[in-house]
Amino acid sequence: MAEIREKVDVCVVGAGHAGCEAALACARMGLNTVIFTVSVDSIALMPCNPNIGGSSKGHLVRELDALGGEMGKVIDKTFIQSKMLNRSKGPAVHSLRAQADKADYTRTMRSVLENQDNLTIKQAEVCELLSDEITLEDGTVKKKITGVKIYTGAIYEAKAVILCTGTYLKARCLCGEAITYTGPNGLQPANYLTDSLLKLGIEIRRFKTGTPARMDKRSIDFSKMEEQLGDEVVVPFSFSTNPDDVQKEQVSCWLTYTNEKTHEIIRNNLDRSPLYAGVIEGTGPRYCPSIEDKVVKFAEKERHQVFIEPEGIHTNEMYVGGMSSSLPEDVQLAMYRTVPGLENCKIVRNAYAIEYDCINPKQLYATLEFKDVEGLYSGGQFNGSSGYEEAAVQGLVAGINAALFIKNKPQIVLDRSQAYIGVLIDDLVTKDNFEPYRMMTSRAEYRLLLRQDNADLRLTKIGYEAGLVSEETYKKVLKKQELIDSEVERLKSTLIGANKEVQRILEGIGSTSLKTGTTLAELICRPELNYELLSEIDVNRPENMPKDVIEQININIKYEGYILRQLKQVEQFKKIENKKIPRDINYDDVASLRIEARQKLKAFMPINVGQASRISGVSPADISVLLVYLETYKYTENS
């Protein structure tokens, strides 16, 4: 029988949020790319929550956008409600969150892929990874990826492969006693690739996540719930989106609560929950627990929040946020109907848990390339994370690095002081993650520097140098930085006297009078004042200063002391982060290393001393020993 054999540069396996970003990055960097999906209708699918962003996740989307990714642009076109979270707190934790029209989001992202040069969409199940063995300079033998084979037998030869399989590998969905061997939303699972991964020596683990029921909007009594409105002035996710284009009429979300009756029904039926009956094998996410988990683990709580969110403009389906479950259908209906406003609810789609195969991410470099298989990259939930945003940024980084690998150029590694993306990937590859990983602002040590508002200033240069950001966009960012710096300097050097006119203006805007002269910058430091409020005093200010520039000016001046302190911390961090560890290091040669440290370092193979210091089981004393050895190693190598 004739065999179909095609040659491409990159194969991307899976077309979820990670796969879309990976494929677009490779294609936009000039590589012939094919993206495989079990169903073209599932491209950029949102099988769970109908939103993009949220606390810390909003940071990820803005960073992705600054690097040249697509998610921010698509949600700006398809959102139906938008909110900037944590406005009452400092700018470090402000995060955008937008409700998406799920069908429109999928349709829009699919259109982007379909019209992207160098990119082909292929509906097919990849069942096998193809590889050769290569001998390295030191004589060790390593595998090198050569392509993929699909279920029909066709072979696609490739220089790199990116795995973005999401929750599809050997997936099964559980709803009480009913178990169906499907992917999310009843889609076809991928049942064959796991065996090929095991043959390559890749460690596989089993994780679990879940989703709540979807309700018929017509069966819900919203009068018993609290209405949740979007922002009056919407801030776009993408730095390239015109703010005027996102000011539109928004839909409402709704807040209600569980109660003791809800909890009683759950407790009385725990023996029928696959989670507590031992049927579920996979480990679930700590920070997005099912309602069964909440009732058991937080028994002292009298109620839990329930958010009722629309799935889109042209559907009556409503998402019941905060009540994911794997309980049987009859128990689900009973517990949902105890919630105020849901007394007569009708379930369109039952809640379910889904189990799937994924990897232990310690097998990856921070570039998201497998340590033992050259040219094989991965991103998304397959790497043991959770969430659309976490998936998208990993897909983007994997795509950029696969393209750079093929072009024989240095690959990018974002560190913890550069981006939330750097924190996410560093946590995945250096820490033992025994549950689906979720990004949180508290995980970022330098979060005052890594704000969502300055992602373009931090990362656009990297996207430009990789070939994903246009020169025009990059020049705009350079101009923005120049405006910020020059205006901050002007404000610091502009003296204001304590004359009657100034005192009158300050009193009029609710600020205390001056006892002596000061600078405009020092006035902006007052909690009640900002750049805009001082327009009457600041007679020489430039006209038509952009809003995003004004935002940076206010933050840079008000938080200058804290920012300088964090920059000093980053300086110390960089010293140890810049101490590279040779890839061919033999930790058995490092005398005085404790056995546990030696084992952990061999398992994780960190690329620098900073990474090594964050591995559980490696002590400060072990790092001191390693630093001494590296100095000796460097001396020996150079002599």
Mean pLDDT (whole number) for 119-135: 95
Distance CA 258, CA 323 (A): 9
pLDDT class for 616, splitting at 50, 70, 90? confident
3-state secondary structure 76-143: HHHEEEEEEECCCCCHHHCEEEEEECHHHHHHHHHHHHHCCCCEEEEECCEEEEEEEEEECCCCCEEE
Distance CA 46, CA 33 (A): 24
Q: Which domain holds residue 75?
A: 5-210+356-466
> Could you tell me which of 446, 402, 404, 401 has the C-alpha nearest to residue 423?
446
**Judgement on whether residues 184 and 41 belong to the same structural domain of the protein:** yes
Q: In the prediction, which pLDDT does 592 show? A: 84
Checking if the pLDDT of 57 tops 60, the result is yes
Cα 576–chain centre separation: 26
Q: Is residue 572 part of a domain?
A: no
Q: Is residue 142 part of a domain?
A: yes
**Which residue in the block uniquely carries the two structure tokens 């150079």?**
638
Q: Is residue 571 part of a domain?
A: no
Q: Which residues contact 85 (CB under 8 A, 6 or more apart)?
A: 54, 55, 58, 94, 95, 96, 97
**Judgement on whether residues 491 and 503 belong to the same structural domain of the protein:** yes
Give the domain CATH number at 520.
1.10.10.1800
Distance CA 635, CA 80 (A): 61
Q: Which of 43-52, 199-208, 409-418, 606-615 has the lowest mean pLDDT?
A: 606-615
The percent of residues in the chain predicted with pLDDT above 90, rounded, is 80
**Which residue in the block uniquely carries the two structure tokens 């900037």?**
84
Q: In the prediction, which pLDDT does 137 show? A: 72
CA distances from residue 449 to 97, 98, 356, 464, 469 in whole angstroms, order as listed = 20, 23, 36, 21, 22
**Judgement on whether residues 244 and 312 belong to the same structural domain of the protein:** yes
**Judgement on whether residues 250 and 275 belong to the same structural domain of the protein:** yes
Distance CA 231, CA 265 (A): 37
| Residue 80: CB atoms within 10 Å | 25
Dihedral over Cα of 191, 193, 199, 201: its sign:
negative
Q: Which tens digits make up the pLDDT trace of 343-367?
A: 999 999 999 999 999 999 999 999 9
Q: In the prediction, which pLDDT does 634 show? A: 66
Checking if the pLDDT of 185 tops 60, the result is yes
CA distances from residue 155 to 32, 81, 124, 193, 313 in whole angstroms, order as listed = 15, 44, 11, 14, 41
User: For strand 10-13 and strand 253-257, is the pairing parallel, antiparallel, or unpaired?
Assistant: unpaired
Checking if the pLDDT of 633 tops 80, the result is no
Checking if the pLDDT of 473 tops 60, the result is yes
Q: In the prediction, which pLDDT does 80 show? A: 98
- Domain boundary pick from 353, 385, 409: 353
> Pick the residue with more confidence: 113 or 590?
113
Mean pLDDT (whole number) for 368-388: 96
Mean pLDDT (whole number) for 199-208: 94
- Domain boundary pick from 529, 563, 597: 563
Distance CA 542, CA 119 (A): 46
Residue 465 dihedral angles phi and psi, to the nearest 5° = -65, -30
Q: Is residue 475 part of a domain?
A: no
Render the burial of 19-35: b for 16+ CB within 10 Å, e for the rest. bbbbbbbbbbbebbbbb
Q: Which tens digits make up the pLDDT trace of 419-438?
A: 999 999 999 999 888 889 99
Q: Which residues contact 182 (CB under 8 A, 6 or more apart)?
A: 171, 172, 173, 188, 189
Strand, helix or coil for residue 22: helix
| Residue 407: CB atoms within 10 Å | 15
Residue 357 dihedral angles phi and psi, to the nearest 5° = -85, 140
Count: domains in the chain? 4
Q: Is residue 574 part of a domain?
A: no
Render the burial of 358-394: b for 16+ CB within 10 Å, e for the rest. bbbbbbbbbbbbbeebbbbbbbbbbbbbbbbbbbbbb
Q: Is residue 278 part of a domain?
A: yes
Q: Which of 218-232, 306-320, 345-359, 582-596 has the lowest mean pLDDT?
A: 582-596
Q: Is residue 338 part of a domain?
A: yes
- Domain boundary pick from 328, 353, 378: 353
Mean pLDDT (whole number) for 22-28: 98
Mean pLDDT (whole number) for 65-82: 98
Give the domain CATH number at 583.
1.10.150.570
| Residue 300: CB atoms within 10 Å | 5
Q: Is residue 570 part of a domain?
A: no
**Judgement on whether residues 56 and 166 belong to the same structural domain of the protein:** yes
> Pick the residue with more confidence: 120 or 140?
120
**Judgement on whether residues 301 and 347 belong to the same structural domain of the protein:** yes
**Judgement on whether residues 285 and 191 belong to the same structural domain of the protein:** no
pTM given for the model: 0.94
pLDDT class for 287, splitting at 50, 70, 90? low
Q: Which of 11-15, 95-99, 466-470, 535-539 has the lowest mean pLDDT?
A: 535-539
Q: In the prediction, which pLDDT does 273 show? A: 85
Amino acid at 48: C
Q: In the prediction, which pLDDT does 635 show? A: 54
Q: In the prediction, which pLDDT does 419 show? A: 97
Q: Where are the alpha helices (DSSP H) in 516-619?
A: 520-524, 547-558, 560-577, 595-604, 609-613
| pLDDT mean across residues, the chain | 93
> Could you tell me which of 414, 366, 418, 439 has the C-alpha nearest to residue 567?
418
What is the 8-class DSSP label of residue 255?
E
Strand, helix or coil for residue 259: coil
Checking if the pLDDT of 26 tops 70, the result is yes
Checking if the pLDDT of 3 tops 90, the result is no
Q: What is the distance in angstroms between the CA of the first residue and the CA of the last residue of the chain?
A: 60
Q: What is the DSSP string of 23-75?
A: HHHHHHTT--EEEEES-GGGTT---S-SEEE-TTHHHHHHHHHHHT-SHHHHH
**Judgement on whether residues 307 and 334 belong to the same structural domain of the protein:** yes
Checking if the pLDDT of 138 tops 60, the result is yes
Give the domain CATH number at 321.
2.40.30.260
- Return the top range by mean pLDDT from 131-145, 373-387, 499-513: 373-387
Q: In the prediction, which pLDDT does 399 show? A: 98
**Judgement on whether residues 98 and 24 belong to the same structural domain of the protein:** yes
Distance CA 80, CA 100 (A): 6
CA angle 481, 400, 469 (to 5 degrees): 35
Element (DSSP H or E) covering residue 180: strand 178-180
Assign residue 368 a region (left: φ > 0; alpha: ψ between -120 and 50; beta: otherwise). left
**Judgement on whether residues 330 and 268 belong to the same structural domain of the protein:** yes
**Judgement on whether residues 243 and 341 belong to the same structural domain of the protein:** yes
Give the domain CATH number at 113.
3.50.50.60
Q: In the prediction, which pLDDT does 605 show? A: 87
Distance CA 479, CA 467 (A): 20
| Residue 348: CB atoms within 10 Å | 16
Count of residues for the chain? 639
Element (DSSP H or E) covering residue 534: none
pLDDT class for 637, splitting at 50, 70, 90? low
**Judgement on whether residues 17 and 154 belong to the same structural domain of the protein:** yes
Q: In the prediction, which pLDDT does 639 show? A: 47
Mean pLDDT (whole number) for 89-96: 94
